[in-house]
């Protein structure tokens, strides 16, 4: 298994290695792009979870049923 941090650090090394085995170096660029998309998605999910936690706390602090529904 390849280390994504190492690929991000030195993509040219991995492109050359992949090419020497008959692979397309553009595949390494695709891996880097997909990793970046995954990292962005994780950031968005974490932000949404933080929002959900904050709203849950506000609901818990609401005193009456009408206020909780709002």
Residues with pLDDT less than 70, the chain:
65, 67-70
Nearest C-alpha neighbor of 55 from the set 66, 41, 70, 42:
70
Q: What is the CA radius of gyration of the chain?
A: 22
Nearest-angstrom CA–CA distance, 28 and 30: 5
pLDDT for 70 equals 62
Long-range CB pairs of 65-70 (<8 Å, 24+ gap) are none
pLDDT for 69 equals 67
pLDDT in tens, 15-32: 999 999 999 999 999 999
Q: For the chain, where are the alpha helices, taking DSSP H only?
A: 4-9, 11-20, 26-61, 65-69
pLDDT for 9 equals 96
pTM of the model: 0.73
């Amino acid at each position: 298994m390849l280390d994504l941090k190492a690929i991000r650090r030195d993509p040219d090394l991995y492109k050359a290695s992949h090419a020497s085995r008959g692979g397309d170096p553009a595949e390494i660029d695709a891996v880097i792009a997909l990793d970046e998309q995954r990292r962005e998605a994780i950031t968005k999910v974490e932000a949404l979870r933080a929002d959900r936690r904050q709203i849950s706390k506000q609901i818990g602090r609401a005193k009456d049923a009408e206020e909780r529904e709002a």
